[in-house]
Amino acid sequence: MSNESGFQGTVENLEKIKPQLDALRPEEVRQFNLSVPNAVSAAMRVFKAFKADVSAFVRTFRFDAFDPADYENFPERVGALWYVNKQLNQAIDPKGDADAILAKIGPLHAKLGKAAVYLWCDSEELGPVVADIRAGAGRMDKADELVRYAALFEEHWAEAKDNSNVTQDDLTAARTLSAQLIDTLTAIPPSDLAELRDIQNRAGEYLRRAVDDIRAAAIYIFRRDPEALERYPSLYANVSQSTPRKSTIVRPDATAPTETD
């Protein structure tokens, strides 16, 4: 299991930052609900840009709270999250049953989503509903989305049947596949997964802090260069309703030299 850049997380990545993860207090750790592949891809883009621009970060924040050296373990943060997510998925679905169901869900989910956007994306009433359905990222979200799509099309079937390629058989299949996926993903007792979920949440929080802090610094440095800022995506870029952690970085005085000044 590797992301689109070929990066693979290892147990060594997790072991290197385990002390930092253990040091996080429970109240500091939020549930990591983002898609791990998407989050890792965005994080690696941030890290690539950060390495290329590190001299600008050093010059701008040399007398302030932001220290680029604090993020030298960025690859370990990414690798730990990727590794523990892989372990969690294997624990939840050791035989790959969920993957087989998801393979069936994919084309149907895409069909329903495309039709819903075509029919209702500009509707004041239903546009937000469609956007909310499409905001999910995890495997369990797919099950919920199928049921919600089915309900949406059923409620507005008079309009949908003549203006889309969605059929009643599609709606029946959506409910069936949703139930199958939920049954598969909830077959393991929650207590057996609690430790892995906690580690994933901690790894996600630790990575999210690095990304948020680097982005906060980049937003200051490249405040007059929108193109440069595009190289520092948020982990929340594909999530409609999320509130990133507020950065604790103290920005330098506006007269401090920057790369774009």
In this prediction, residue 191 carries a pLDDT of: 61
Token readout for 182 is: 């939920």
- Which of 120-124, 133-137, 185-189 has the lowest average pLDDT? 185-189
> Any idea how long the chain is?
261
Question: Mean pLDDT over residues 79-97, rounded?
Answer: 85
Q: Which residue has the tokens 């939020």?
A: 30
Nearest to 82 by CA among 186, 185, 11, 17: 11
Considering the chain, what percentage of its residues have pLDDT values greater than 70? 84
**Is residue 95 pLDDT above 60, yes or no?**
yes
Residues 6 or more apart whose Cβ sits within 8 Å of residue 252? 60, 61, 63, 64, 220
Q: What is the pLDDT of residues 183-217, one digit of tens each?
A: 887 776 666 688 899 999 999 999 999 999 999 99
Which amino acid is residue 130, in one-letter code? V
Task: Check residue 218 and give left, alpha or beta (phi > 0: left; psi -120 to 50: alpha).
Answer: alpha
Q: Provide the 3-class DSSP secondary structure of residue 138.
A: coil
Q: Which pLDDT band, with edges at 50, 70 and 90, does 4 fall under? A: very low
Rounded to two decimals, the pTM is: 0.62
In this prediction, residue 26 carries a pLDDT of: 94
Q: How far apart are the first and last CA of the chain?
A: 43
Q: What is the pLDDT of residues 9-42, one digit of tens each?
A: 899 999 999 999 999 999 999 989 888 999 999 9
Alpha helices, DSSP H, located in the chain: 11-23, 36-52, 54-60, 74-92, 97-120, 127-133, 139-155, 157-163, 168-185, 190-221, 226-229
Q: What is the pLDDT of residues 60-83, one digit of tens each?
A: 988 777 899 999 999 999 999 999
Query: What value does the mean pLDDT of the chain take?
Result: 85
Nearest to 203 by CA among 63, 94, 78: 78
Q: Which residue has the higher pLDDT, 249 or 30?
A: 30
Nearest to 227 by CA among 49, 43, 48, 39: 49
Torsion of CA 195, 199, 201, 204, to 10 degrees: -160
Q: What is the pLDDT of residues 167-189, one digit of tens each?
A: 999 999 999 999 999 888 777 66
